[in-house]
């Protein structure tokens, strides 16, 4: 069990007492003959309801996700990408110039950017050489002002999952909110932490439809948390944060679970092939184990290889300036032919670098 006696004590007082904006669609959401309540344009040229504001609480998508994830919709917040949820968590828990958060680099860059935006100190406790959490160091570095701890599992850019026991210890000992970012969970052999929400009131799990669901363009991130925190997130968000076209696109895609599962299976088998082939290339120093849809690869001169790949029309991510990722490129698993193009290009380039 979490030893946080009262997670609500971490919420900034002005947020706790905030009176949420009440939108027209909050005040009336049923069917009616004539809508004259939201100052919308009455002409619906395409007969698609584009002239109408969307559902502020995205009930249809949440009900679909509740069935897929096995989690009540009351435990879900939907954001304009997970990045919106990250931003709102800072607004809810962190006081500018006073609070701090803990992150564990190398990791997803938005936690640090968001802390800078909110003028919140970002205490970095690096992962170990094998890319696992240094739990003693995290707890030693935490202080009374440490409001959130960001854990990314599977981790970006390293690709590996973080040990369950370590995360559990942190959930039980860290005296703030523990945010577990599971953007890549659908590619992972590990179970999601969403099933532990009732055990840990200080737990927030982030997921996204931008990766396995193939909906990066729709911008839809999910935060799973206890119902009271979800209500606070809903109070702080902009009223219509998920656009109508996005809601419709997402709702249609969520009906096609078969395609989703098929794509994941294909990506995973392509990942295994790519992993093997990368290891065979002379000049590739190390291919790191992955639980995600990308692979971290260490070379002799990552920057030079990156530039030469670009010249051949292939774009990967240069992570060589990132802590513990010296001379590393991060490669997303593509289609079979995209992966083959990469491998061919690497054979041509790497031997010469
Ligand atoms: C770990 C992690 N979290 C979140 C995101 C962003 O997700 P979204 O597209 O939902 O904002 C990314 C994107 O690369 C990511 O790697």
Task: Please give the structure tokens belonging to residue 129.
Answer: 């050489």
Can you tell me the distance from the alpha carbon of 291 to that of 192, in angstroms, rounded to the nearest whole number? 13
**Element at 155 (helix H, strand E):** none
Give residue 104's pLDDT: 98
Question: What whole-number percentage of the chain has pLDDT above 90?
Answer: 93
Is the minimum distance from the CB of 80 to ligand 1 under 6 angstroms? no
Taking residue 42's Cβ as centre, other Cβ atoms within 10 Å add up to 9
Can you tell me the distance from the alpha carbon of 142 to that of 352, in angstroms, rounded to the nearest whole number? 47
Give residue 3's pLDDT: 61
CA 307, distance to chain mean position in Å, is 28
- Single out the residue of 65, 71, 109 nearest to residue 221, CA to CA: 65
Instruction: Identify the residue whose C-alpha is closest to ligand 1 atom 6.
Output: 82
Which of 65, 82, 192, 293 has most ligand 1 atoms within 8 Å of CB, for mutation?
Answer: 82
Cis bond before residue 157 (omega within 30° of 0):
yes
Is the minimum distance from the CB of 103 to ligand 1 under 6 angstroms? no
Give residue 30's pLDDT: 86
The SS3 call for residue 68 is helix
pLDDT tens for each residue of 20-37: 999 988 898 889 999 999
**For the chain, where do the domains classified as CATH 3.90.1150.10 start and end?**
258-350
Question: CB-based contacts of 153: which residues, under 8 Å, 6+ apart?
Answer: 161, 162, 167, 180, 181, 182, 188, 190
The SS3 call for residue 239 is coil
**For the chain, where do the domains classified as CATH 3.40.640.10 start and end?**
7-27+54-255
Q: How far does the centroid of ligand 1 lie from the alpha carbon of residue 81, in Å?
A: 7
Give residue 351's pLDDT: 72
pLDDT tens for each residue of 71-128: 999 999 999 999 999 999 999 999 999 999 999 999 999 999 999 999 999 999 999 9
Q: Which atom of ligand 1 is nearest to the CA of 79?
A: 10
Can you tell me the distance from the alpha carbon of 273 to that of 267, in angstroms, rounded to the nearest whole number? 10
* Overall CATH class of domain 258-350: alpha beta
Q: How far apart are the first and last CA of the chain?
A: 53
Contact 226, 197 (CB under 8 A): yes
Q: How far does the centroid of ligand 1 lie from the alpha carbon of residue 210, in Å?
A: 7
Q: Give me the mean pLDDT over the 200-207 stretch.
A: 97
Give residue 109's pLDDT: 96
Q: E strands, the chain, where?
A: 76-79, 100-103, 121-124, 146-152, 177-181, 203-208, 221-224, 284-287, 294-299, 317-318, 328-332
Backbone angles phi, psi at 12, to 5 degrees: -60, 135
Which of 87, 157, 183, 224 has most ligand 1 atoms within 8 Å of CB, for mutation?
Answer: 183
pLDDT at 283 > cutoff 90: no
Cα dihedral 132/137/142/148 (nearest 10): 0
Can you tell me the distance from the alpha carbon of 184 to that of 194, in angstroms, rounded to the nearest whole number? 14
Q: Among all chains, which residue has been given the structure tokens 């995973």?
A: 268
Q: How far does the centroid of ligand 1 lie from the alpha carbon of residue 211, in Å?
A: 8
Q: Give me the mean pLDDT over the 58-75 stretch.
A: 98
Q: What is the CATH number of domain 7-27+54-255?
A: 3.40.640.10
Give residue 29's pLDDT: 84
Backbone angles phi, psi at 139, to 5 degrees: -70, -35
Is the minimum distance from the CB of 181 to ligand 1 under 6 angstroms? yes
Can you tell me the distance from the alpha carbon of 8 to that of 152, in angstroms, rounded to the nearest whole number? 23
Give residue 2's pLDDT: 57
pLDDT tens for each residue of 151-200: 999 999 999 999 999 999 999 999 999 999 999 999 999 999 999 999 99
Q: Give me the mean pLDDT over the 222-233 stretch.
A: 98
What letter does residue 33 receive in the DSSP assignment?
S
Average pLDDT along the chain:
96
CA 332, distance to chain mean position in Å, is 16
What letter does residue 14 receive in the DSSP assignment?
H
Q: Give me the mean pLDDT over the 311-318 stretch.
A: 97
Contact 15, 94 (CB under 8 A): no
pLDDT at 5 > cutoff 80: no
Q: Give me the mean pLDDT over the 238-259 stretch.
A: 97
> Phi/psi zone of residue 313: left (φ > 0), alpha (ψ -120 to 50 degrees), beta?
left
Is the minimum distance from the CB of 83 to ligand 1 under 6 angstroms? yes
pLDDT bucket at 4, cuts 50 / 70 / 90: low
Cis bond before residue 154 (omega within 30° of 0):
yes
């Amino acid at each position: 069990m979490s030893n946080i006696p009262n997670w609500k004590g971490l919420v900034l007082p002005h947020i706790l007492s905030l009176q949420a904006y009440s939108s027209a669609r909050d005040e009336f959401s049923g069917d009616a003959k004539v809508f004259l309540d939201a100052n919308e344009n009455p002409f619906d040229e395409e007969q698609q309801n584009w002239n109408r504001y969307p559902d502020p609480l995205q009930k249809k998508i949440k009900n679909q996700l509740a069935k897929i994830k096995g989690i009540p919709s009351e435990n879900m917040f939907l954001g304009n990408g997970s990045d919106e949820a990250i931003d709102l968590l800072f607004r809810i828990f962190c006081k500018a110039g006073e609070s701090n958060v803990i992150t564990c680099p190398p990791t997803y860059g938005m936690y640090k950017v968001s802390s800078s935006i909110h003028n919140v100190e970002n205490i970095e406790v690096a992962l170990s050489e094998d890319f696992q959490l240094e739990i003693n160091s995290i707890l030693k570095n935490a202080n009374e002002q440490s409001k959130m701890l960001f854990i990314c599992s599977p981790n970006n850019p390293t690709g590996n999952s973080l040990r369950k026991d370590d995360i559990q210890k942190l959930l039980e000992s860290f005296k703030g909110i523990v945010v577990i970012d599971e953007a890549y969970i659908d590619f992972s052999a590990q179970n999601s932490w969403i099933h532990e929400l009732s055990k840990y009131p200080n737990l927030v799990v982030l997921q996204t439809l931008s990766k396995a669901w193939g909906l990066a363009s729709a911008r839809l991130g999910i935060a799973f948390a206890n119902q009271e925190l979800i209500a606070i997130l809903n109070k702080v968000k902009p009223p219509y944060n998920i656009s109508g076209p996005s809601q419709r696109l997402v709702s249609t895609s969520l009906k096609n679970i078969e395609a989703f599962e098929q794509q994941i299976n294909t990506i995973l088998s392509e990942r295994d092939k790519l992993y093997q082939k990368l290891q065979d290339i002379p000049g590739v120093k190390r291919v790191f184990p992955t639980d995600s849809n990308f692979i971290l690869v260490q070379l002799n001169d990552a920057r030079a290889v990156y530039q030469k790949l670009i010249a051949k029309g292939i774009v990967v991510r240069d992570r060589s300036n990132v802590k513990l990722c010296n001379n590393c490129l991060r490669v997303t698993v593509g289609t079979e032919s995209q992966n083959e193009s990469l491998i061919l290009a690497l054979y041509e380039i790497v031997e010469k670098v």
